[in-house]
Structure 1
């Protein structure tokens, strides 16, 4: 394979895979029986988190310059995806430390960053992120937890944060606090609180909340009572809290794609194994055309989501100024695409998909429940689509102009080492739109040339042309919508969903335009077929479009003994 092909980093992910496989083989951490038992008991996966600590996952939560692993956001995505392939609950429980730390990476002082990095890398300290409160939903400006300054420069913090992942188990928690009684965009500030340094009675945990999925995760809350915190607990300036959070969310929202991809791949593996084993009508389920179509379409959906996540993660390094659009698109689009694949696979698995003690210790029904929460994390699908809708006028105009950041896009779509992530380059609103989508017409022309030269199948050129056409139609649809504030019409959300599919297809298109091995070209072409099914009403991929993705899943398969 060409060195110019962008790939997922594999170093840490491979080490985690080996450690988890060893634990599962011994009947301990990450075994299906243990995961099922923890889920049934709603028990925290402590042994699993200890194994991940020992394997060095916490170092992926820290920037490389502060002692973290190399590879940046793509490395973290790849590693957390590997964990989610085994158990989404564990990935959610352990990965929260990145969410709790990221505001410090975005806006903390050098001393704050180094102190937190030491705690995370040397002590595996658990860090939570306290943004939400009861009754406020996703409205961060409705928060009532308050921070009051003292004459000596310290602060007193009072109020609750709920529901918060690892609020009880976490040693540290980064909270968004009201520092101006009037509130507003400049009325909130961020504080990184070390609970172990608070006096007795200054804080108490709120009870763990029973949840439908991720049952074992510490979804609880925190109550602070006039808690004294030092001056250096303030992250950024007074009044900067909301802006810091919105930039930090651009990274955490993109990271959520790892949870979806891992869950989807786990589902595909379970159902493919079942299809190979299941005897039906004198043959194996894996040999029936309908079953193969379902498996192939699901694999193509995951390949499409994979392309979106890969370029989304790389964009944080190569196109950081566009992450307001990219992160919202990835966060809304990847879980949506993956959930469709899981739903289709559930039908193929049938009743066993609902049972807790049959096929694979009931892992399918567990991952299906666990995955549902991903769409809610870090702003719901509706919230992220609203963020995207607010940028429609600029996105439409730049698509029509064919304008994009060619240098940044080359960094994202090439295989050269990425620049280190620069949080200061993140912007609340993208000024250059979404280059991955805006470059579709030019990239489609390159695909056509490659197909004409025999380096890609002719079907790839046909799909590229269709995607370019739909991208233009999407720009028209965005431009026709009236300017929207917080009350966007339903039609706008439908267009946002089309943009998400277009982005994923564009990501696959850019990867296809880079010289790559024939088998990867086949997978990316199938991903484009699936993209067009999502984008074009009535479009149906050819009957054999997904077949090349099925064979590796179900080999070897033999007819049952009659």
Structure 2
């Protein structure tokens, strides 16, 4: 949270209402009932549209409100904290339109902007039944005819495929990776006999979502519906995914905070003659989960600010965020669930069924916009540039903008996104300086250990050879370690640049920074001892935020649940 994002997010929260009020449109009770019925949350989507979230999917130059990505991150997080199904259903419009923003402007750019601003659902037709995430293998074919294309084939397992008005379809117009185009297909313009919606696919999580598909049989799409230059469809999709993967961090942050709030609430209750929070195991579990959540927040916030400050490195940032946040949040939810035991699975008691629902819902985030292995593989492709430029001077001003939540962000140039970075990662190159800056502070020894690990990893990457088609497990492990080093740099950078609230216990003596770095080092296989009382202090600081009606954030803001606490 930043000075710039707090007012719009707090206003958004107020308008959505307190989710604890069962009769509210966007209440926990309503979301649970829709989940049981596997019914789409139409009324809730209308409420979110009325508050203008869709305006933040459209750049300001086309009449929208997309000016700063951290604002979008926090708005998405606010929705996801209440219900992931709603957040996923709504944000998929951004995936459907983002290809237009990273492509040259055409009449279709403005058409998509108008539809999104008017609240129409827009989906992205990338995946197919036989090929999954292998976009190069796409078989939906666009045959060039006079004035346009005729589409044939199926796009399947697509979010909002049935209820959307428009779909951005990755279609084959030639052979190989360069034989793909993105065509914007407005179903209201198609002859009814040339397309059909495929049945809803029942899923374990996000049961209320429209996960279905679209089949084409000679559907005519005009030439002007193509995004970008001919045969650049794969490039368009991959560039757009860099932005959506980064914003997916908001989905995981919202789910993680929901799980943490629920568990903190249960831990304060009395069971079997004692308060659960008096158990050492409870304190340890909650402290670890809280520290993991704060790591995730630092990664997502610095990542979204980096879209503006170091946009040429978005390929690295997106892969780091999309790998780390879903995987670490899933583990956090699982750890909290194990401590809650049977309470995590009850539908009508303790957590009112919310914990088991959010656990189910969050598991699907791994697969959106590129799965875990896809993102690790993206980082493997960046190894040569990262190793080659380890000593290249970085832009100090750009780094400060990325790390300081109080600094104004420069406008993001959508068409500056690159498929791969040329100079590695600014944040990783700055890690020695960030660690040196922590020397003499309570977090200093942890920062020094992180830097030692990072140097050993860089020595390994210097000897890296492109693995070819089959990537060895140890190379994926190196990519995972790289994401953790990046996360550590984000924690150090945010802690040294942000201006925290006066007297905030989470910031006293570097509390959150020490806890976060300890968790990162543990994930790197270098567990550290923790000072006596650190876990209690961290849990106490998080409980204060909960009781004060604030988000469980490094830099908190007011949430709707705060009313009446």
* TM-score between the two structures when normalised by the length of structure 2: 0.92
Question: Do structure 1's residue 94 and structure 2's residue 90 form an aligned pair?
Answer: yes
Contact 1:175 1:191 in 2 (8 A): yes
Q: 1:68 to 1:167 in 2, by over 3 A?
A: same
Q: What aligned pairs does 1:284-433 form with structure 2 within 5 A after superposition?
A: 284-399=275-390, 401=391, 403-414=393-404, 415-433=406-424
Q: 2:185 aligns with which of 193, 217, 222?
A: 193
Determine the structure 1 residue equivalent to 2:559. Answer: none
Pairing 1:508-547 to 2, within 5 Å after superposition: 508-514=491-497, 516-517=499-500, 519=504, 520=507, 521-547=510-536
Partner of 1:207: 199
Structure 2 CA distance, aligned partners of 1:257 and 1:353? 24
What is the Cα deviation at residue 287 of structure 1?
2.1
Question: Is 1:132 aligned to 2:122, yes or no?
Answer: no
Secondary structure of the 1:390 match is helix
Q: What's 1:487 paired with?
A: 470
Determine whether 1:436 maps to 2:431. Answer: no
Work out the CA distance in 1 between the residues paired with 2:259 and 2:240. 30
Q: In the TM superposition, what is the alpha-carbon distance from 1:515 to its structure 2 partner?
A: 5.4
Q: Does 1:161 align with 2:155?
A: yes
- Distance (whole Å) between structure 2 residues aligned to residue 553 and residue 287 of structure 1: 16
Secondary structure of 2:17's counterpart equals: helix
Instruction: State the shift of 1:21 in Å.
Output: 2.5
* Deviations, residues 23-61 of structure 1 (Å, cap 9, x unaligned): 652513232222111111111111111110111111011
Distance change (3 Å), C-alpha of 1:70 and 1:147? closer
Whole-Å separation in 1 of the counterparts to 2:202 and 2:253: 25
Residue 356 of structure 1, CA deviation: 2.0
CA contact (8 A) 1:64 1:72 kept: no
Contact 1:163 1:219 in 2 (8 A): yes
C-alpha separation in 2, matches of 1:7 and 1:535? 33
SS at match of 1:472: helix
Do the aligned partners of residues 129 and 155 (structure 1) sit closer, same or farther apart at CA in structure 2, a change above 3 Å counting? same
More displaced 10-residue stretch of structure 1: 21-30 or 243-252 = 21-30
How far apart are the structure 2 equivalents of 1:466 and 1:418?
32
1:30-45 to structure 2, matched below 5 A, reads 30-45=26-41
- Maintained 8 Å contact 1:175/1:190: yes
Could you tell me how far apart the structure 2 residues matched to 1:526 and 1:550 are?
Answer: 11
**Is the alpha carbon distance of 1:410 and 1:55 closer, same or farther for their aligned partners in structure 2, counting shifts above 3 Å?**
same
How far the C-alpha of 1:357 sits from its partner, in A, is: 2.1
Distance 2:125 2:247 in 1: 18
Describe the shift of the 1:258–1:176 C-alpha distance in structure 2 as closer, same or farther (beyond 3 A).
Answer: same
**1:375/1:215 CA distance change after superposition, 3 Å:** same
The one-character-per-residue Cα deviations of 1:333-374 (angstroms, maximum 9, x if unpaired) are: 111221221111111211111222222320000000111111
1:217 pairs, out of 200, 206, 209, with 209
Aligned-residue Cα RMSD (Å) equals: 1.9
- Asked if the contact 1:405–1:432 (Cα under 8 Å) also holds between the matched residues in 2, the reply is no
Compute the displacement of 1:177 (Å). 0.4
Q: CA deviation at 1:514?
A: 1.4
How far 1:70 moved relative to its partner?
5.1
Count residues in correspondence.
Answer: 539
Output the CA distance in 1 between the equivalents of 2:497 and 2:288: 24
CA distance in 2, matches of 1:481, 1:108: 36
CA change 1:64–1:238 in 2 (3 A) is same
Gap change, CA 1:78 and 1:516, over 3 Å in 2: same
Structure 2 distance, partners of 1:242, 1:364, is 38
Deviations 1:179-223 (CA, angstroms, capped at 9, x unpaired)? 01xx21210000111111112212110000011111111000001
8 A contact 2:180–2:233 mirrored in 1: yes
Say whether the 8 Å CA contact 1:12–1:57 is kept in structure 2.
no
The answer to which of 338-347 and 529-538 deviates more is 529-538
Matched-pair contact (CA < 8 Å) for 1:38–1:45: yes
Unaligned runs of 5+ in 2: 548-565
- Residues 529 and 545 (structure 1 numbering): CA distance in 2 closer, same or farther, change over 3 Å? farther
Secondary structure of the residue aligned to 2:421 is coil
- Could you tell me how far apart the structure 1 residues matched to 2:264 and 2:18 are? 23
Structure 1 residue aligned with 2:261: 269
Q: Which runs of 5+ in 1 are unaligned?
A: 452-457, 558-562
Shift of 1:532: 1.6
Q: How does 1:499-514 map to 2 (within 5 A)?
A: 499-514=482-497
Residues 220-299 of structure 1 aligned to structure 2 (within 5 Å): 220-280=212-272, 282-299=273-290
Give deviations 1:437-486, integer Å, cap 9, x for gaps: 221001111222xx4xxxxxx32122221221121112123234432223
Q: Indicate the SS of the match to 1:525.
A: helix
Q: Are the equivalent residues in 2 in contact too, given 1:291–1:348 (CA < 8 A)?
A: yes
The equivalent residue for 2:554 is none
Structure 1 range deviating more: 291-300 or 514-523: 514-523
SS at match of 1:355: coil
Q: Tell me if structure 2 keeps the 8 A contact 1:176–1:190.
A: yes
Deviation at 1:276, TM superposition (A): 0.5
Cα separation, 1, equivalents of 2:215 and 2:321: 33
Structure 1 length-normalised TM: 0.92
